[in-house]
Amino acid sequence: MGKNQDEEEGNLSHNTKAVISLDERFVMQTYSRFPVVPVRAKGVKVWDCDGKEYIDCVSGIAVLNVGHRHPRILKVLKEQAEQLMHISNHFYIEQQAKASEYLAKIAPKPLEKTFWGNSGTEAVEAALKLAIKYTGKHEFIAAQGSFHGRTMGALATTWNEHYRAPYAPFGINAKFVPFNDLQAIKEAVSKDTAGIILEPVQGQGGVNIPSNGYLEAVRELCDEKEILLIFDEVQTGFGRTGKLWAGEHWNVVPDIMPLAKALGGGISSGACIAKEEIAKAFDHGAHGTTFGGNPLACALSLEAMKIVVEENLSERAAELGKKAVKQLKELKEDLEIIKDVRGIGLLIGIEVSKDAKKLCLEMIKKGILITYTAEKVIRVIPPLVIKEEELEKALNIIAEGFKQH
């Protein structure tokens, strides 16, 4: 934050200023944050430290599909915390087994076996390691605009050969090809390709939706060349795009599917589910983690998955998303500042020609939490439990924010 923060962002309260000052002093400054200090939330509403109310159009970046503090999540949180929060993967964990069973039930068939971690990047790491272990190859094809996480190097610096050797040499060899370009993927495949990793719909890349036929053809290519298809559904999974899995829009089933974000219902949880035959490559000691799959995270993951299914949140996302995209496209007709509107379910991107951060700040001041990605794409990703009138209100604030510029 610069010196003229108040002038740029409106008069900040003493509380907000105090938290910002602590953050700047003691937190590594890796995030460019908006000057809001949320302290409480319920459903789709969030309140900051001054009592100001917001409609959440961020969902903790596609985490809170079931909304903040869903009563069923709170109940399980309390009950499980009173019994057992953490133990160790050296023992059998009932909640992990049950959450895996349920995930296998709702995942695209025949994905069946799960490895549990704590985050999206860990889920992707597990997927890449599994693909290396299964194929014995190290090259991956990924898409331009992709986002799969930020880990690096921990295993490369782990001394014990037992953990390290099956995956060495380190540094994944990734070839990047334009998203939605089948020919480019075909040309990138080599004898060393272990797999192709794609987000079926790119999230951080700016909400990029592939053309019909692309993912289907990539699946065929993988089958023909005997390479693995990894769909990173960390952001798109659990109903966000209007289907339980984004791959379902095109009836394409990957071989391995990393998941996280909405999985834990608000608590960190990650999972990598794969076909049985591939999953076998992860034998004893092949991968592991201290916290992944702990009883609390798994009890909550199971409940969050059930809520998404039992409350038909995919269908809700499809229906509400369609209306929102229609409305935003109409707005685009009137406003030059909006360059494009892309949406699938409640994963919506509004590409703008002006400073997206400034626009978000305006909208935040008017009472919604909203962020942007890929520099110029404002993302609307509310909890899937949002009521129609709440979404309407949020869209009105977005429209007002645009009209002011």
Residue 176 beta carbon to ligand PLP: minimum distance, rounded to whole angstroms: 15
Are residues 238 and 139 in contact, defined by beta-carbon separation less than 8 angstroms?
A: no
Are residues 253 and 111 in contact, defined by beta-carbon separation less than 8 angstroms?
A: yes
Q: Is residue 125 involved in binding ligand PLP (CB under 6 A)?
A: no
Q: What is d(CA 393, CA 387) in angstroms, rounded to the nearest whole number?
A: 10
Let me know if 261 is a catalytic residue: yes
Q: Which stretch binds ligand PLP (CB under 6 A): 33-41, 228-236, 331-339, 363-371?
A: 228-236
Residues 6+ apart with CB under 8 A from 92: none
Q: Is residue 203 involved in binding ligand PLP (CB under 6 A)?
A: yes
Residue appearing with tokens 């001041």: 365
Strands, DSSP E only, in 144-192? 173-177
Residue appearing with tokens 């009521």: 387
Residue 14 beta carbon to ligand PLP: minimum distance, rounded to whole angstroms: 32
Residue appearing with tokens 């360059």: 339
Between 180 and 235, CB nearer to ligand PLP = 235
Are residues 125 and 324 in contact, defined by beta-carbon separation less than 8 angstroms?
A: no
Give the residue, chosen from 100, 204, 241, 301, that forms a contact with ligand PLP under the rule CB under 6 A.
204
Residue 8 beta carbon to ligand PLP: minimum distance, rounded to whole angstroms: 27
Residue 376 beta carbon to ligand PLP: minimum distance, rounded to whole angstroms: 18
Question: In DSSP terms, which residues pair with 177 in a beta bridge?
Answer: 143
Total site size for ligand PLP, rule CB under 6 A: 15
Q: Is residue 345 involved in binding ligand PLP (CB under 6 A)?
A: no
Q: 3-state DSSP call for residue 211? A: coil
In 165-263, which ranges are continuous DSSP H helix?
182-188, 214-225
Pull the structure tokens for residue 131. Answer: 């693909």
Q: Is residue 114 involved in binding ligand PLP (CB under 6 A)?
A: no
Between 121 and 314, CB nearer to ligand PLP = 121
Q: 3-state DSSP call for residue 196? A: strand
Q: At what angle are helices 94-106 and 295-310 packed, to 10 degrees?
A: 30
Q: Which stretch binds ligand PLP (CB under 6 A): 33-41, 119-127, 190-198, 319-327?
A: 119-127
Q: Which stretch binds ligand PLP (CB under 6 A): 144-152, 182-190, 240-248, 340-348?
A: 144-152
Q: Is residue 235 involved in binding ligand PLP (CB under 6 A)?
A: yes
Let me know if 232 is a catalytic residue: yes
SS (H, E, C) 337-371: CEEEEEEECCEEEEEECCCHHHHHHHHHHCCEECE
Give the residue, chosen from 148, 219, 240, 342, that forms a contact with ligand PLP under the rule CB under 6 A.
148
Q: Is residue 269 involved in binding ligand PLP (CB under 6 A)?
A: no
Q: Which stretch binds ligand PLP (CB under 6 A): 20-28, 44-52, 117-125, 285-293?
A: 117-125
Q: Which entry of 48, 115, 133, 232 is annotated as an active-site residue?
A: 232
Q: Which stretch binds ligand PLP (CB under 6 A): 71-79, 180-188, 231-239, 240-248?
A: 231-239
Give the residue, chosen from 149, 254, 265, 293, that forms a contact with ligand PLP under the rule CB under 6 A.
149
CB atoms within 10 A of CB 333: 7
Residue whose CB is nearest to ligand PLP in the complex, by number: 120
- Buried-state track 41-71, b at ≥16 Cβ within 10 A, e below 16: bebbbbebbeeeebbbbbbbbbbbbbbbebe
Phi and psi torsions of 214, nearest 5°: -65, -55
Between 115 and 147, CB nearer to ligand PLP = 147
Between 203 and 266, CB nearer to ligand PLP = 203
- Of 153-182, which residues contact ligand PLP (CB under 6 A)? none
Between 376 and 402, CB nearer to ligand PLP = 376
Residues 6+ apart with CB under 8 A from 138: 132, 169, 172, 173, 192, 194
Residues 6+ apart with CB under 8 A from 155: 163, 164, 167, 170
Q: Is residue 343 involved in binding ligand PLP (CB under 6 A)?
A: no
Q: Which entry of 115, 140, 147, 282 is annotated as an active-site residue?
A: 147
Between 80 and 373, CB nearer to ligand PLP = 373
Catalytic residue positions, numbered: 147, 232, 261
Residues forming contacts to ligand PLP in the complex (CB under 6 A) are 61, 119-121, 124, 147-149, 199, 203-204, 232, 234-235, 260
